[in-house]
C-alpha cells in the first residue's frame, strides 16, 4: 500500500530508510524505537492531506473494496489518487458469513459511507472476488436471501462491479486487515444481520 501511494508522499524514501536498512543482506534483525518511530511517521504521511485529494464532482469515481476474514476495507479513488479511506471490523455474526457475502457486505459498507460522493452518479467498484461479477448479472431472486437483501440495498446506487486481481488492490487489502475497531456497523448493515438471524430461526 505504501509503495502504491509513494508517488503522492513527499520524501517517502527518507521516511522508509530505517526500515529498508533491516532488509539489507547480512543485516541482523533488530527492531528498535527508531523503527517504531519510522513506521508511525509513514502511517501519518499516508493519511495526511498531501496524500488525500479533494473530491472533484467532474471526475469519474472508483471504489476499491476488500473483505478479510475479520474486517472490511475500502478506498474512494479519483485519477488513481485516494480521496478517503474507510475500514471496520466484522461483527461476530459477520465473521461467519460466506466469503462472497463478506465481499458484498464490503460494497454495501463502502456505498453507505461514501453516499455523499456517489449518490446519483455512475461508480466503478473494484473487487478481487471474481464471483461477485456474476451475482450482479443474475436476477436478485436467483441468489440467497442474505445476498438478496444486500443487493436490494444497493439498488439506489449506480454501481458497476469489476473484478480486479488482488495484486492491484493494495489499499483495500491493507485496510481490511488493519481495520478501525471502533467503527460500528451502520443501521443498514445491522438490519441485514438481524433479518438473516430472524429468517434462520423462522425457517427452523
Provide the grid cell at 44.
501519518
Block residue for cell numbers 471502533: 182
Q: What is the pLDDT, as a whole number, of residue 108?
A: 95
Q: Which domains does the chain have, with CATH numbers?
A: 2-46 (no CATH), 61-203 (3.30.420.10)
| CA atoms in the 13 A half-sphere facing the CB of 193 | 18
- What Å distances lie between residue 128 and 48, 110, 168, CA to CA? 27, 15, 9
CB 38 within 8 A of CB 2: no
Handedness of CA 28, 34, 36, 37 (dihedral sign): negative
Instruction: Evaluate if pTM is beyond 0.85.
Output: no
Q: What is the pLDDT, as a whole number, of residue 127?
A: 94
Neighbours of 107 (CB within 10 A): 26
Per DSSP, 79 falls in state T
Per DSSP, 118 falls in state H
Q: What is the pLDDT, as a whole number, of residue 169?
A: 81
| Residues linked to residue 74 through DSSP beta bridges, in sequence order | 65, 86
Q: What gap in Å lies between CA 74 and CA 176, rounded to an integer?
A: 7
Query: How buried is residue 38: exposed, middle or buried, by Cβ count under 10 Å (0-12/13-18/19+)?
Result: buried
Q: What is the pLDDT, as a whole number, of residue 154?
A: 94
Q: pLDDT per position in the chain (204 positions), as tens?
A: 777 777 667 667 778 888 888 888 888 888 998 989 888 888 887 776 556 788 999 999 999 999 999 999 999 999 988 898 888 999 888 999 999 999 999 999 999 999 999 999 999 999 999 988 888 888 888 888 889 999 999 999 999 999 998 888 888 888 888 776 766 677 878 777 765 444 444 444
Amino acid at each position: 500500500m505504501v509503495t502504491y501511494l509513494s508517488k503522492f508522499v513527499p520524501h517517502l524514501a527518507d521516511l522508509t530508510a530505517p526500515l529498508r536498512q533491516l532488509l539489507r543482506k547480512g543485516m541482523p534483525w533488530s527492531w528498535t524505537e527508531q523503527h517504531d518511530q519510522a513506521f508511525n511517521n509513514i502511517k501519518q504521511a499516508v493519511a495526511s492531506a498531501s496524500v488525500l485529494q479533494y473530491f472533484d464532482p467532474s471526475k469519474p469515481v472508483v471504489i476499491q473494496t476488500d473483505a478479510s476474514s475479520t474486517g472490511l476495507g475500502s478506498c474512494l479513488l479519483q485519477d488513481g489518487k485516494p480521496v478517503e479511506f474507510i475500514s471496520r471490523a466484522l461483527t461476530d455474526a459477520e465473521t461467519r458469513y460466506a466469503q462472497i457475502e463478506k465481499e458484498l457486505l464490503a460494497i454495501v459498507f463502502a456505498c453507505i459511507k461514501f453516499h455523499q460522493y456517489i449518490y446519483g452518479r455512475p461508480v466503478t467498484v473494484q473487487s478481487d472476488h471474481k464471483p461477485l461479477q456474476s451475482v450482479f448479472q443474475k436476477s436478485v431472486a436467483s441468489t440467497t436471501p442474505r445476498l438478496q437483501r444486500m443487493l436490494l440495498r444497493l439498488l439506489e446506487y449506480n454501481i458497476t462491479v469489476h473484478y480486479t486481481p488482488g495484486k492491484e488492490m493494495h489499499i483495500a487489502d491493507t485496510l481490511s486487515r488493519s481495520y478501525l475497531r471502533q467503527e460500528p456497523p451502520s443501521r443498514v448493515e445491522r438490519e441485514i444481520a438481524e433479518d438473516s438471524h430472524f429468517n434462520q430461526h423462522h425457517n427452523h
